[in-house]
Amino acid sequence: MICEMCGKQSEYTKTIFIEGTQLKVCKECSRFGESSDGKGGGKKSATGAAPSRAMVAERLQARERRMRTRDVYQEGEITAVDLVPEYARIIRDARMARNLKQEELAAKLNERVSIVAKLENGSIRPSDTLIKKLEKELGVKLTEKVSVVKTEGGHSAGKVLTLGDLIKKK
C-alpha cells in the first residue's frame, strides 16, 4: 500500500478522515487525521501537542504538490515521434546508395523532382505521409522518438503515444 498523504510505501495503512476527505495513510501520517475506528486522533506526540490545523494543511499541500509532480512525470512518459534533424542527408545518402537519380526517386514516391531536391537540401520538411513513403522506398529511418520530459530510468509504464495517436488528437 502507498500512503496517500506522504506517498511512502507502507505495510500498514490506516483510513483516516481529514477535512472530510478519506485517506489511506501510513502509521506516521495517521496522527494527522481523525480515525475511522472512532478512537479519535492518533497518539499525541512527545511534546503533548496534537497536530495543528496548520500542520494538516501543510501536509495536504505537500500531497497536492506530489500529485502534480506525478502528472508531470506522466507527461514525461509520452513519447513523440519527430523527424530527425539530419533527414536531408539521410535521404540523399540512401538515394545515392541505391544508385537512384532524384528523378527516379521522385517517380517512386509519386512526387515532383523539385520536392526531392528540396528535401535533400533541407529546405522543406517531408509530410508524415511522405516520411512513410521515403522510409519504405529507401529503407531508412527518418523519425526518432522524443520524450517531452526526460524521465529517470527510461521505462515507460504508461501508454506510449504513436504518431497516429497524436494526429488523431488534433
Give the binding site for Zn ion (CB under 5 A).
Answer: 3, 5-6, 25-26, 29
Closest to Zn ion by CB, 16 or 142: 16
**Shortest approach of Zn ion to residue 24 CB, angstroms?**
9
Closest to Zn ion by CB, 25 or 106: 25
Interatomic CA distance for residues 114 and 93, integer angstroms: 17
Which grid cell is 150? 526526460
**Shortest approach of Zn ion to residue 154 CB, angstroms?**
28
Asked if 55 and 28 touch (Cβ cutoff 8 Å), the reply is no
CB atoms within 10 A of CB 26: 20
**Shortest approach of Zn ion to residue 84 CB, angstroms?**
45
Interatomic CA distance for residues 74 and 84, integer angstroms: 24
Closest to Zn ion by CB, 6 or 117: 6
The 3-class SS string of 104-154 reads: HHHHHHCCCHHHHHHHHCCCCCCCHHHHHHHHHHHCCCCEEEEECCCCCCC
**Shortest approach of Zn ion to residue 69 CB, angstroms?**
16
DSSP for residue 51: P
**Shortest approach of Zn ion to residue 160 CB, angstroms?**
31
Closest to Zn ion by CB, 1 or 96: 1
Interatomic CA distance for residues 30 and 15, integer angstroms: 8
Closest to Zn ion by CB, 5 or 130: 5
